[in-house]
Amino acid sequence: MSINEDDSNKAFDGKTLLAIVLMVVVLTAGMAIQNHFFPRQPQPVVEKEKSAQTSQVSANKQSSVPTEGKASLDKLVVFDDSSLDLHEESYMLSTDLFIASFSNRGGELKSLKLKKHSENGVYVELLMPVDGNTSGFSMNLGGPRAAPVDALMQVSQPGPGKIEFYRTFSDTANNGEKELFVLRKLYEFKPGEYMFKLSISVESLASSVPIVGDGSYAYTLNFGPQIGPSFKELPKNADWRRIVSYEGGKKRKIKPGVQTVEANHAAWSALAGKYFAVIMLPESTTAYTTTFTNTTSDGFPATTAMAFSRPQINSSSQTDVFHIYAGPKSSRELKRYDDITANGFNRTKDDLEAVLEGNNILGWLEVALKWALNLFYAMVGNYGVAIILVTLLVRLIIFPLTFKGSQATARMQDLQPKMQEIQAKYKNNPQKLNQEMAEFYKAEGYNPLSGCFPLLIQFPIFIAMYSLFNNHFDLRGASFIPGWIGDLSLPEAIVSFPTVNLIIWRISAIRLLPIIYLVSQLLYGKFMQQPTSAGQNAGQMKFMMYGMPIMFFFILYDVPSGLLVYWISSNILTTLQQVVINKVIHKKCTSKAVEEPKLKLVPKSKAKNGKK
């Protein structure tokens, strides 16, 4: 980066320092915010838990708990049918993407594993228990504080990939007579889909409207208390948990704590982590009251859950449908539900990609970089090498823009001796010094600000790269150099240890990439900055050359390793570019210096006649 050597050139110094301050503020704020926050497959089948596949719904007995004959409500009771002999049993439904485990107690989903994604050698579990409890679509007949329906339910398989839980309940009407209604929960899975459907039906066995709920709400559907992958702690940049909703084409993040949204018409609501999400899309136009619970314990997410409370039912038969996306936060999968021909549920314009991070003013640049990264990965099969190739591509694209800045830096080094002469000659006359320097720049056709351009043009690219490496799903677990950089989405470490709090800095590992970055940045500064004379400007140049890289060393210490691979590669490529430009400029100046003495030997008479 080129900086004017004139100690009194306040306009240039001010603009340069302002640019530096803005870059540091924006980057630091971004870091703080970030740290805070297909071939046809066989049809899915329902099978015994841990048993051989069967074409009919079958059960693997887990215990001999007999039906108690009552749900957990005072008035509501299970209809007494002496022919039923129910016990608590588990069921497993398997597709090419899911292993879903259910219990007939309340017809709840107890486990949802992703076959194509692993964590520590086992399938990723999307439904995490807290204190041994899970709530995979449990139901309360009433509002969110009502007791859950824990009655044992009958089970059937209406078709391939479907499993239904149902039971007849009775309630007492105002006239004292018993009224019967059937509660059904039907799950439907399809091959190749990270989305499945849940239909909840309440059907009166008479023509009357069934008495269901607490007078305000018919039922509440719950999911939680936490989503996977499993964790004991969530280190910075490793993972996080958030709740977001999408209404009117806009995404909003739900604040921490317990939030209740009355008459919620959101198109969907989601429990989201860094790489996976569970998104619920109510199909009905009914305005559900939604309760979001997002609490922490010891600084880590303890509960990330949501509940949908349905208003009273006004017909003898009512079916509500929820579509649930449970899978990776991958654009490739999420965007399928914007195209009716690309998914098996004929969904369209769901805009599930809004659940992704990085939808900001530089989102378009992030999308372009992601496309280039995936393209190079398809060629070389290594994301680390792909990042280096993307860096090379970026340097080639912006080369015309940065070439003049690099020329200016090289030119400044050649003009340095003359500038120092002027500064020494007029050091006691600042006004004259400014005038002489301005005339000197004009005569040489040099703009002292042009050397700053190479750094400024890279800043928006760096911001987009940071968002890309911190959120791009395909980088999850992507290895560059086995044994050292095993996951480009996380900081690398050569030695890890319990976190040491140094008051102004917390460190939990010795990392090599930040050290390499620091060396490359100092090398970059050596070629992009020129020597200075003593004085105020010299102090600023020393800070730019040494202070800024050291400060960024601490800022970037815990960023994803992929980002540092990009920046180190960029520094090396830019330095090599500058070395070549310096040699070319120096060669031209040397040739010019050799020719100049010949001009002094031309006779005056010939010079007057215009001959050279």
- Judged against a pLDDT cut of 90, whether residue 102 lies above it is answered with yes
Q: How many CB atoms lie within 10 A of CB 160?
A: 15
Rg of the chain over all Cα atoms, to the nearest angstrom: 34
Q: Are 556 and 607 in contact (CB under 8 A)?
A: no
Residue 357 CA from chain centroid, whole number: 4
Say what the pLDDT of residue 385 is: 96
Lowest-confidence segment of 60-64, 200-204, 403-407, 550-554 by average pLDDT:
60-64
pLDDT, tens digit, 9 for 90 and up, residues 333-350: 999 999 999 999 999 999
Contact 99, 92 (CB under 8 A): yes
61 pLDDT band (50/70/90 cuts)?
Answer: very low
pLDDT of residue 453: 61
**What does the pLDDT look like over 141-189, one tens digit per residue?**
999 888 888 899 999 999 999 999 999 988 765 556 678 889 999 999 9
User: In this predicted model, which residue has the larger pLDDT, 477 or 511?
Assistant: 511
Whether pLDDT at 278 is above 90: yes
| pLDDT of residue 323 exceeding 90 | yes
pLDDT score recorded for residue 236: 62
Residue 338 bridge partners (DSSP): none
At residue 526, the pLDDT reads 76
How many whole angstroms separate alpha carbon 403 and alpha carbon 508?
A: 41
Between CA 20 and CA 540 the distance in angstroms is: 11
- Would the pLDDT of 280 be above 50? yes
Rounded CA separation 154/357 (Å): 42
Tens of pLDDT along 233-273? 666 667 889 999 999 889 999 999 999 999 888 999 999 99
Cα–Cα dist 92/32, whole Å: 43
Residues in Cβ contact with 132 at an 8 Å cutoff, skipping those fewer than 6 apart: none
Mean pLDDT of the chain: 79
Give me the domains of the chain, ranges plus CATH numbers: 10-34+363-488+560-591 (no CATH), 45-355 (2.70.98.90)
Q: Can you read off the two tokens belonging to residue 526?
A: 């050596």
- Centre a 10 Å sphere on the Cβ of residue 575 and count the other Cβ atoms it contains: 18
Split at pLDDT 50, 70, 90, the class of 75 is very low
CA triple 394-395-398, angle to 5 deg = 85
Percent of the chain's residues with pLDDT above 70: 74
Mean pLDDT to the nearest integer, 482-488: 90
Output the pLDDT for position 415.
Answer: 73
CA dihedral 477, 481, 485, 490 (to 10 degrees): -30
**Count of other CB atoms within 10 angstroms of residue 590:** 10
- What distance in Å separates the CA atoms of residue 352 and residue 151, rounded to the nearest whole number? 35
Given this model, what pLDDT does residue 39 score?
41
Which has more pLDDT, 6 or 263?
Answer: 263
Cα gap 99→52, rounded to integer Å: 14
Residues 6+ apart with CB under 8 A from 411: 444, 446, 585
**Phi, psi of 355, deg, nearest 5:** -75, -15
pLDDT at residue 230, as a whole number: 84
Q: How far apart are CA 312 and CA 318, in angstroms?
A: 11
Indicate the range of 5-9, 288-292, 302-306, 435-439 predicted with least confidence: 5-9
> What was the pLDDT predicted at 525?
78
In the numeric block, which tokens belong to residue 256? 């921490």
Greater confidence (13 vs 216) lies with 216
**Parallel, antiparallel, or unpaired: how do β-strands 506-510 and 495-501 relate?**
antiparallel
Return d(Cα 386, Cα 468) in angstroms, integer: 13
Distance CA 595, CA 597 (A): 6
Position 371 scores a pLDDT of: 92
- Name residue 194's amino acid: Y
Tens-place pLDDT, residues 435-474 = 887 787 777 766 665 556 666 777 888 888 888 887 788 8
Q: Is the pLDDT of residue 92 over 80?
A: yes
Given this model, what pLDDT does residue 173 score?
Answer: 59
**How confident is the model at residue 586, as a pLDDT?**
63
Q: What percent of the chain has pLDDT over 90?
A: 37
CA 395 to CA 596: how far, in whole Å?
A: 37
- Using left for φ > 0, alpha for ψ between -120 and 50, and beta otherwise, residue 513 falls in alpha
Token pair for 521: 């940045």
Amino acid at 4: N
- Tell me the pLDDT tens digit for each residue of 398-431: 887 777 666 666 667 677 777 778 878 887 787 8
Whole-angstrom distance, CA of residue 348 vs CA of residue 329: 18
Mean pLDDT to the nearest integer, 363-369 = 87
- The pLDDT assigned to 21 comes to 46
Is the pLDDT higher at 97 or at 231? 97
3-state secondary structure of 280: strand
Residue of 553 and 403 predicted with greater confidence: 553
Q: Cα 273 vs. chain centroid, distance in angstroms?
A: 8
Which residue has 């049918």 as its token pair? 81
331-336 contacts: CB < 8 A, separation 24 or more?
Answer: 331/356, 331/370, 331/473, 333/194
Q: How far apart are CA 76 and CA 84, in angstroms?
A: 18
The token pair at 326 is 């449970």
